[in-house]
Chain A
Amino acid sequence: MVFSSQIFLFVFLPLCIFGAYLVRPDFRKYFLILASLAFFAWTGKRPLALFVIFALVNYGMGLLQGRLRDNEGLGKKIANWLAIVSNVAFLLAFRYLPFFTNILASITGAELPKIELPVLLGVSFFVFSAISYQYDIYYNKIAPQKNIADFLLYISFFPKLLQGPITRAGEFSAQLANNKLNLDNLSRGVYRFTMGLAKKVIIADQLGAMVDQIFANPANANGVSIAWLGAFGYAMQIFFDFSGYTDMAIGLGQMLGFDLPENFNLPYLSLNISDFWRRWHITLSSWFRDYVFYPLEFKRRKQKVFRTESNTLIVFFLTGFWHGAGWQFIVWGIWHGVFSSLEAFLRAKKVKTKAPKIVRYLVTMLIVLVGWVLFRSPGIKYGLQYLGVMFGLVKPIETGLTLGWHLNGKVAFTLLLAVLACIPWKQWMPNLFEKLADSKLNDPIRLVAFLILLGFSIMMVMSSTYNSFIYFKF
């Protein structure tokens, strides 16, 4: 059940929000647990059962770790090791098993039995939440959650369940303890949710149709300009899709009295790759920083040469792999890792670039764009060939298609809208926005913007149900 689907928007969301406001405050968390499990159950009964088992096992392991937290012996380490390894194993099994099976089969040439496990949507997100929970208990950053309902809600809270933001147990528990529903939160949430929905259905989905067409062609069947359009369109699509989804998640959280962490901060204004990763999918970057990078730095603290660089590369390798069970994701991660490592190396050597900002910006965006092509491609070979076309290294076959085939009025307008939405108007024109914030026009302008975006978004969602059967086959 995605947030922009009809079933979520027109049924689940109103029922859930009204339910949360109507139930007694002391029952609210139980209601939210039920709602979250119902949300997850939409993917199937077996996934739900697995998810509940996963949550209960983590709850139990958290308690076990808590019991051993004052134990300086091996028991504490083993309990933590068990907790982390079982979570990683769960993630590998339910997300990466076919990937590893294929690798094994291609190496050995053997025909391996096909193991079909149910698809667990959002597994990467909720497993990472669980790992951070176990890790934080081990390092005494948080106490294990004794209240099973509180723990279940942390793991299953539906706004963040499928696509994040990845929340930390400590932050969530504090918010749960002070959870308040009021008009302020509700209206903030409604506004934020609507912005996210608009990003998703007005920009991302519209660009997605064009991008899908381009990437459905053989890599060398797109001309140079079309290949660049596809890459640029995808860069915009993925940002507005993901950040739109995050806005919806944050908005839902606000409606229910929770402040979920921000995930994006104008990533397409980054001046280098390290900067990009401080602005893009912030909760994932910080997760890898806290739970992989820092421990690696500590563990290898005696290594003086290329420690940070190699650790950075490891983190980006894992970041790529986390995004998908395919070599293209790994290559994408390494691509970013190489530049991040290089930047770390230059920082360590205190080398300062003298290149003007605009050059640094363009180079960064080029690296990001190349990365997105690899990320979007169905495989590495395709991605490299596509990039070859973009940079004139591969001669595209003549299909007769020109840029105009894909870049129609609607796509051009949507791209323009996307670019305008990436500009930090508030930062660039602080005076104007300050004046506006203080003026009487502030509310009316925001209201009009809200109504327009909500109206258009609902129109897009509803119109997607149109299904003409004038020709089905004939």
Chain B
Amino acid sequence: MRSSISKIFISIVFFAILIIPVAVSDKVGGAVSPFENRYLAKFPSVIVNKNQIAPGLKEGFEAWLKDNLVGRVEAQKAKAYIDFKLFASSPSPLVHIGEGGWWFFTNDRNLEIGQGTHLLSNEELEAISENQEAIRSSLKEQGIDYVLVLVPSKASVYPEYMKGGNYQVGPTLIDQVSTYLQENTTVPVINIKPNLIDAKNEQDVYFRTDTHWNHTGAYIAYKTIIEKSNYFGMIKTQPISHATEPATHNGDLSAMMGYPGLLPTEPFEATAIQTPHAFLVSDSEKVSRVKRLIADHDIVGEYFSYSNPSAEKSALILGDSFFLTWKIPDLFAENFAEMNFIRTDIVVNDIIQAINPDIVILERTERYIYTLANPANVRLEPAHQEDLSADVVSHNTPTAVERGESYNVNIMVKNTGDWAWSEDDQIRLCIFQDGKDFGYRINLPEGVKVDPGQDYTFVLYNFRVDDGDTTYLEYQMIKEGYQYFGEKERVDIVVK
């Protein structure tokens, strides 16, 4: 550069580009990035305990900086657009551009799965067999049927659309595992892949721009599971018929490439249940209990429960994103008097006991099939053998309270079971308000043991109501993480 103006110009531009994204960034952080479907990092605490530098400050600061630089979303969009439009290349290693408008998710060795080159070792297969056999026999002892459902990766069903090789439909990981389990265990296994392959010549069974199947593929899976479960003698109910209606879908692969609008909206035939009999149950004691158990086991996936008075038997489906939507829960709900779905790969005996289904369906998609080998995902030991029982003997809850006024309430509870209560066993009094368990507990003091036949008086301090004209409290004992137990006492309160 010769002229001073040019020198000044490039210096100013350079530093402005570096300074402005930080200068105008969100100094608090923690906002939701709908673009990435996650929370952005918060600005870290610098000092803790008055004079100590917060541990992890460096990492926290870097995370905040990366997440909150102004212009990062625009930069990502621009990069995605250039990669995609200019080079016809995928902006993200997570997504592979296939032939004919087909796109594939690449993580978890998904493409190698489709190519049939990623298989499990004998040790892994044995571990899966052991876990599956353990689940099946444990449930059988409880009188519960069990079936394992395996869902193929899109790349296994449509390998011919992957670029870079001449791939054809052939045996893949899902076939290896299902064959191994069928030959070496007594676990009923349903492999959806053959049915999807049969159907794919008639119509698409997966979205072209999404990781998942479309409603057609999902319905085929539903139908296959119901028919096979009938064949196994577990249920006596037929797949419901359904209608379809034209709809459109924005595939998830677009956002994975950093630009939600990058891929075109995809038309598909949406499943419609014309006269649904099942309905969602969002507010029942059982649902609350299951939710607490789910939380206690650190399961973060969605849970929902359907009721259908016109059907028989109950089902618990444990599955991943392939069963979360695409109308699958609604379809299954039509076949069972009660249908519970939890998005998880963990089989927890306490939750099964709380739901008490007739059949448990564990669904696993092909790229997560290895998780079936993880012993930590099988939690079959009963949480408690003790007999827990309680009566609420008395309480002095006021039936009318002044708004904003605080009250202390004594609640005397009698241990009518065979097991002594203590904080060591996390046995507490649960206070429900307006039918909901907000997590309010009264603990037994350290060292206090309430033996069978004894009474104990819990004190609810500073109970106050600030809103509403009425409310009600309920008292019930709880063994934390496992079950509520004993009598539940309700008190209606008028707020003045």
By a beta-carbon cutoff of 8 Å, the part of chain A in contact with chain B is 6-7, 9-11, 13-14, 17-18, 42, 183-184, 186-188, 190-191, 193-194, 209, 399-406, 408-411, 413, 442-443, 446-447, 450-451, 454-455, 458-463, 465-471, 473-474
Contacts and interface: CB of A to CB of B under 8 A. Distances in A.
A455 B38 CA distance: 27
Interface of B: 1-4, 6-11, 13-15, 17-19, 21-22, 35-38, 58, 61-62, 65-67, 69, 71-73, 75-76, 78-80, 83, 86-90, 92-94, 97, 105, 107, 115, 117, 163-167, 211, 252, 255-256, 258, 301, 320-321, 324, 343, 368
A400 B166 contact: yes
10 contacts: A6-B65, A7-B62, A187-B1, A209-B93, A403-B164, A405-B165, A459-B79, A461-B75, A462-B75, A463-B75
A38 B72 CA distance: 26
A473 B115 CA distance: 21
Secondary structure type dominating chain A contacts: helix
A409 B115 contact: no
Nearest to A10: B22
B321 A410 contact: no
A103 B89 CA distance: 45
Contact of B89 (A42, A191, A408): A408
B472 to A, nearest CB: 38
A404 B167 CA distance: 14
Interface centre among B18, B97, B255, B343 (most CB of A within 10 A): B18
Given A446-B1, A470-B36, 15 more contacts: A6-B62, A10-B19, A10-B69, A13-B18, A187-B8, A405-B164, A455-B17, A459-B75, A462-B72, A463-B76, A465-B76, A466-B36, A468-B92, A468-B94, A470-B256
A443 B1 contact: yes
B15 A14 contact: yes
A47 to B, nearest CB: 13
B14 A10 contact: no
Contacts of A471: 105, 107, 211, 252, 256, 321
A410 B89 contact: yes
B76 A466 contact: yes
Contacts of A10: 18-19, 21-22, 65, 69
Nearest to B77: A463
A118 to B, nearest CB: 15
B76 A469 contact: no
Contacts of B66: 6, 465
A447 B58 CA distance: 36
A433 B75 CA distance: 34
Contact of B165 (A7, A184, A400, A455): A400
Q: Nearest 7 A-B pairs (CB), nearest first?
A: A405-B164, A409-B87, A462-B75, A187-B7, A400-B165, A410-B89, A410-B87
Contacts of A7: 61-62, 65
Nearest to A194: B14
A16 to B, nearest CB: 11
Contacts of A458: 17, 75
A301 to B, nearest CB: 50
